[in-house]
């Protein structure tokens, strides 16, 4: 028997022989000795229904037809047309289980880890012990979910509209989300949640899974007519993609599985501390200015030099030169692969710009898109065979075949040369198309991980941001190798509120780039107030994506104040507990970050639209210590309000009340105009 327990979560595995069965994954079952565990495992053997296999069906760690499981299987594949044989347990360790097929031709090892934060990780490794090839078509991790987990929440999306939540009920059958983009994609399912009906941010039990993988994948929820429910996930393999020769192994990505008895926030509350402990970031996160929406491809030192000065004057700490700096890249139709500084635009290389950045006290960052190649590039003309096999272009570009050792070495060495020649602190690493080459993404994704690993080993001080046409590659596989995600290409605060809210369920906010854009958002054309844009960009790894040369002196003064406030708040924002109130009226949302010791917090009340009632529901402050007394006061740029008189506490300027009162009763909401936000600091006495 295996009983893993941590942070209010239990996983019980009956591995006494035959096939290991998952008895329980969910709330902590308490201390159980060997006898109690065995008694539990025996007691939960189910009835045998009519018209079924004649033995009780239990939820195996490797469900498949051999045990009578007719749902999606863990293992699928064949050897010269003969399906994979059944597996039987042969060895058990503290955190792993090993099985072999009866004919000794396959060996499967499953690692299970329950972290101190209560995050469960599972992965398999399959080895071909036979003397002929084994063709693998799928190797998945599955976990049981109970009958209460009958409501699903996962995500879809589009470019600039990532992580759009979608809810539905789990009925008999499979709800499966598949990515064939060669990257997770804008419509990535991201996190598959199954919970009690009506589960919210702060209520209901929820079971959730994520696959830590940046290539093709499937993630699903299933309930069978027998009554079993499951969450499953694995890499999505094309026919012929994984052929294991004698002695070869295939290892799955990690399945990340989280249980919460306190809604979606409870998931974040396990995931964020775990992610922070295993992928520690250098804090404080610097304030970024990115040139993309400021100048696009129009690189001109006189303009960019003034932008450097303006950035430094408001308190920016990292200046990032986006797309357009390399040979021939005057638009997005050409030149990817020609990673040499364009001497027609930068006759002295990037040195004059970088010197200006560094002497203004900032770090320098550079945009690259190493996995891509433009057909119209010197690189493609010299090495047409380095382009992956898909004649379709997308943004006029093709994919560089990183499994070609020469192509891999070229791009690695070019990046290394740039990082050696220039004091580059940061790479914005982009990926702007789907791969669209059948059978290529497993190897391409591993090659990407190798490329990132090699560069990080050689340049450990260089930070990397994962960008993929905005947020099309945000996952816990690549997070081991990067320091920041570009959350979305939209800087429109109305879209950003939603995208950041949902992306931060999985990813802690300090990894998520959020930039202040121009008054009229470039992607949507919608205009919004400076205060709303600032309050939105504050809750992440904050930055600017606006041509500050065109900002007015008063706007620059407000931005400088905002940056100063952000610098004061970021120790809290980037280490605290992310909380979101369940909204009775979707027009008004409350979210915030509470310090780990619950002594201080920052909240935002956000008006996304017009409320349903003249007096919207009170502002409730989740996550505070009920037994401490807090003072609430507004901070930041005052929003536009539409009220004849403000609520009493706001007219006075602050209020001091116990945490229990602030969480339960809340404070009367100020009447914000649509698309406005008010920031509230909450400090214990
Ligand atoms: C897509 C990214 O998401 C943008 O931020 C920008 O870097 C462009 N690519 C540049 O081509």
Rg for the chain, CA atoms, rounded: 27
Q: What is the pLDDT of residues 632-657, one digit of tens each?
A: 999 999 999 999 999 999 999 999 99
pLDDT at 279: 80
Expressed in angstroms and rounded, the spacing between residue 355 Cα and the centre of ligand 1 is: 24
Mean pLDDT of the residues in the chain: 97
pLDDT at 394: 97
430 belongs to the catalytic site: yes
State the DSSP string of 363-402.
EEEEEE-TTEE-SSSHHHHH-GGGB-S----BTTBEEB-T
Helices (H), 44-88: none
Q: Distance (Å, rounded) from C-alpha 107 to C-alpha 111? A: 13
Residues of the chain with CATH 2.60.40.1180: 578-684
- Of the options 3.30.43.10, 2.120.10.30, 2.60.40.1180, 2.60.40.10, the CATH number for the domain spanning 578-684: 2.60.40.1180
Residues of the chain with CATH 2.70.98.60: 70-277
Expressed in angstroms and rounded, the spacing between residue 565 Cα and the centre of ligand 1 is: 28
Compute CA 111 distance to the chain's CA centroid, rounded to the nearest angstrom: 23
In CATH, which superfamily holds the domain spanning 288-575? Aldolase class I (3.20.20.70)
Q: Distance (Å, rounded) from C-alpha 355 to C-alpha 346? A: 13
Q: If you ran DSSP here, which 8-state letter would residue 479 be given?
A: G
The answer, yes or no, to whether residue 30 has pLDDT greater than 80, is yes
Q: What is the pLDDT of residues 85-98, one digit of tens each?
A: 999 999 999 999 99
Residue 391 banded pLDDT, cuts 50, 70, 90: confident
pLDDT at 629: 98
Q: What is the pLDDT of residues 527-537, one digit of tens each?
A: 999 999 999 99
Task: Work out the burial of residue 269: count CB atoms within 10 Å of its CB; fewer than 13 is exposed, 13-18 middle, 19 or more buried.
Answer: buried
492 belongs to the catalytic site: no
CB 463 less than 6 A from any atom of ligand 1: no
Residue 605: left (phi > 0), alpha (psi -120 to 50), or beta? beta
The answer, yes or no, to whether residue 280 has pLDDT greater than 90, is no
Contact between 175 and 168 under an 8 Å Cβ cutoff? The reply is yes
The answer, yes or no, to whether residue 158 has pLDDT greater than 80, is yes
Expressed in angstroms and rounded, the spacing between residue 429 Cα and the centre of ligand 1 is: 9
Structure-token pair, residue 628: 């401490």
Q: Distance (Å, rounded) from C-alpha 559 to C-alpha 550? A: 13
The answer, yes or no, to whether residue 540 has pLDDT greater than 80, is yes
CB 445 less than 6 A from any atom of ligand 1: no
Residues of the chain with CATH 3.20.20.70: 288-575
Nearest partner of 205 among 165, 265, 155, 156, judged by Cα: 265
pLDDT at 34: 95
Q: For domain 70-277, is the CATH number 2.70.98.60?
A: yes
CB 322 less than 6 A from any atom of ligand 1: yes
Expressed in angstroms and rounded, the spacing between residue 420 Cα and the centre of ligand 1 is: 24
pLDDT at 618: 97
- From 14, 154, 323, 430, active-site residue: 430
The answer, yes or no, to whether residue 390 has pLDDT greater than 80, is no
CB 430 less than 6 A from any atom of ligand 1: yes
């Amino acid at each position: 028997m295996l009983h893993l327990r941590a942070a209010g979560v239990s996983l019980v595995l009956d591995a006494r022989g035959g096939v290991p069965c998952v008895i329980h994954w969910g709330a902590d079952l308490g201390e159980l000795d060997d006898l109690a565990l065995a008694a539990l495992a025996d007691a939960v053997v189910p009835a045998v229904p009519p018209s079924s296999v004649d033995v009780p069906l239990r939820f195996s760690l490797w469900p498949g037809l051999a045990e009578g499981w007719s749902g999606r299987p863990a293992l699928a594949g064949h050897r010269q047309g003969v399906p994979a044989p059944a597996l039987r347990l042969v060895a058990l360790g503290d955190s792993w289980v090993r099985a072999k097929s009866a004919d000794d031709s396959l060996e499967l090892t499953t690692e299970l880890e329950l972290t101190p934060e209560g995050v469960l990780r599972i992965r398999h490794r399959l080895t071909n012990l036979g003397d002929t090839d084994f063709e693998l078509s799928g190797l998945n991790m599955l976990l049981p979910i109970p009958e209460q987990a009958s409501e699903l929440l996962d995500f879809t999306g589009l470019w600039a509209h990532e992580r759009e939540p979608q809810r539905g009920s789990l009925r008999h059958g499979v709800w499966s989300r598949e990515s064939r983009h060669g990257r997770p994609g804008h419509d990535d399912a991201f996190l598959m949640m199954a919970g009690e009906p009506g589960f919210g941010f702060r209520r209901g039990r929820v079971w959730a899974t994520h696959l830590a993988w940046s290539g093709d994948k499937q993630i699903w929820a299933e309930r069978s007519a027998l009554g079993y429910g499951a969450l499953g996930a694995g890499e999505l393999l094309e026919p012929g993609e994984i052929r294991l020769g004698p002695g070869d192994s295939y290892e799955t990505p990690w399945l990340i599985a989280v249980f919460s008895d306190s809604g979606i926030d409870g998931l974040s509350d396990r995931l964020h501390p775990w992610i922070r402990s295993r992928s520690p970031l250098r804090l404080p996160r610097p304030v970024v200015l990115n040139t993309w929406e400021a100048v696009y491809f129009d690189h001109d030192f006189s303009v960019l030099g003034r932008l450097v000065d303006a950035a430094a004057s408001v308190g920016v700490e990292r200046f990032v030169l986006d797309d357009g700096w390399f040979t021939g890249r005057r638009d997005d139709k050409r030149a990817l692969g020609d990673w040499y500084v364009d001497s027609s635009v930068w006759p002295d290389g990037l040195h004059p710009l970088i010197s200006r950045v560094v002497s203004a006290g900032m770090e320098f960052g550079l945009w690259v898109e190493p996995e891509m190649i433009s057909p119209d590039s010197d690189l493609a003309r010299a090495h047409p065979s380095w382009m992956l096999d898909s004649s379709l272009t997308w943004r006029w570009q093709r994919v560089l075949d990183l499994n070609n050792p020469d192509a891999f070495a070229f791009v690695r060495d070019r990046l290394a040369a740039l990082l050696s020649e220039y004091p580059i602190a940061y790479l914005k690493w982009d990926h702007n198309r789907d791969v669209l080459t059948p059978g290529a993404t497993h190897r391409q994704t591993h090659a990407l991980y190798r490329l990132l690993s090699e560069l990080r080993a050689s340049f450990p001080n260089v930070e990397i941001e994962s960008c993929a046409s905005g947020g099309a590659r945000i996952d816990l596989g690549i997070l081991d190798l990067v320091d920041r995600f570009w959350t979305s290409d939209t800087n429109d605060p109305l879209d950003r509120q939603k995208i950041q809210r949902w992306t931060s369920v999985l990813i802690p906010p300090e990894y998520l780039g959020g930039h202040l854009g121009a008054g009229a958002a470039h992607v949507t054309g919608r205009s919004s107030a400076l205060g709303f844009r600032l309050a939105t960009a504050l809750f992440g790894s904050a930055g600017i994506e606006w041509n500050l040369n065109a900002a007015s002196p008063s706007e620059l003064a407000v931005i400088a104040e905002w940056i100063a406030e952000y610098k004061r708040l970021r120790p809290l924002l980037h280490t605290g507990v992310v909380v979101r109130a369940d909204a009775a009226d979707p027009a008004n949302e409350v979210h915030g970050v509470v310090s780990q010791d619950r002594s201080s917090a920052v909240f935002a009340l956000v008006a996304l639209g017009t409320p349903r009632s003249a007096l919207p529901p009170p502002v409730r402050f989740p996550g505070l210590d009920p037994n401490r007394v807090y003072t609430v006061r507004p901070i930041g740029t005052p929003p536009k309000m539409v009220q004849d008189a403000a609520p009493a506490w706001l007219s006075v300027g602050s209020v001091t009340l116990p945490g229990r009162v602030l969480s339960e009763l809340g404070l009367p909401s100020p009447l914000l105009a649509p698309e406005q936000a008010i920031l509230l600091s909450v400090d214990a006495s």
